[in-house]
Amino acid sequence: MEEKLSEAIKNAIEGAPERKFVEAMDISFTIKDVDLKNPNNRIQEEIRLPSGRGKAIKVAMFAGSDAAKKARDAGIEVIDPSEIEELGKNKGKAKKLANSYDFFLSEVPHMGLIGRYLGVVLGPRGKMPRPVPPVVDPAVIAAGLQSTTVIKSRDKVTFQASFGTLAQSHEELLKNALEVYNRVTSKLERGIGNIRSLYIKTSMGPANKIEVIN
């Protein structure tokens, strides 16, 4: 599979039209013979990419006082917890916030309020905040997220994840793609036998199908 992934990455890069921005690289799976109505069978993985994401990841934290200072010192955008209820009442503003950041963190006491007012916006996007206990430095969590990609099937047989950008080398992208592929197949009962199709593409480029032999 490593050779096939390598070839697909090469073809995806060569076939991508020139853009004025750096495109992401995506890997897409379509699985079969898996009952996704059963939540236990759904794929939901946070994967540390060995070569990183290839771009800076935007992280925000719901925090006040000391935690807010720690977050700002780490370059994390701070959202005042007093704004949570107001954001929840303005769906347009809440959606804009959700789309502005890749990941969210929060002090533990605010998690219930966030779930109540912002869960309907953050939840479906897979962006509910990670709770940060008082003894944990948010900088440590944010640093780990810089190399993390998330892949979720929910109840859909087709799902995808970004595994880098065109700013990275072929070798870096291949390492990342293998990490995602191996994690997903390890979660399937029959491994590659549960994969109907597999594609590699740039975010806006044509899809390159990888032959899957079962």
Res 214: pLDDT = 57
Angle, CA 28 vertex, CA 129 and CA 131 arms, to 5°: 10
Query: Residue-wise pLDDT tens for the chain (214 aa)?
Result: 889 999 999 999 998 888 888 899 999 999 999 999 998 999 989 999 999 999 888 999 999 888 999 999 999 999 999 999 999 999 899 999 999 999 999 999 999 999 999 999 998 888 899 999 999 999 999 998 989 999 999 899 999 999 999 999 999 999 999 999 999 999 999 999 999 999 999 988 889 999 887 5
Q: Could you give the CA distance from residue 90 to residue 67 in angstroms, rounded to a whole number?
A: 26
Residue 138 near residue 26, CB atoms below 8 Å: no
Instruction: Provide the whole-model pTM.
Output: 0.82
Contact 176, 163 (CB under 8 A): yes
Collapsing DSSP to helix, strand or coil, 126 comes out as: coil
Which pLDDT does position 33 carry in this prediction? 94
Position 155: which residue type? Answer: D
In the chain, where do the E strands start and end? 24-31, 44-48, 59-62, 77-79, 103-107, 130-132, 148-152, 158-165, 195-202, 208-210
**HSE-up (13 A, CA, CB side) for residue 22:** 11
- Give the CA-trace dihedral at 79, 83, 89, 91, to 10 degrees: -20
The CA angle 31-180-122, to the nearest 5 degrees, is 80
Contact by Cβ (8 Å): 134, 109: no
Q: Report which of 10, 25, 21 is spatially closest to residue 201, judged by C-alpha positions.
A: 25
> What structural domains and CATH numbers belong to the chain?
2-54+147-210 (3.30.190.20), 59-145 (3.40.50.790)
Q: What radius of gyration do the chain's Cα atoms show?
A: 19
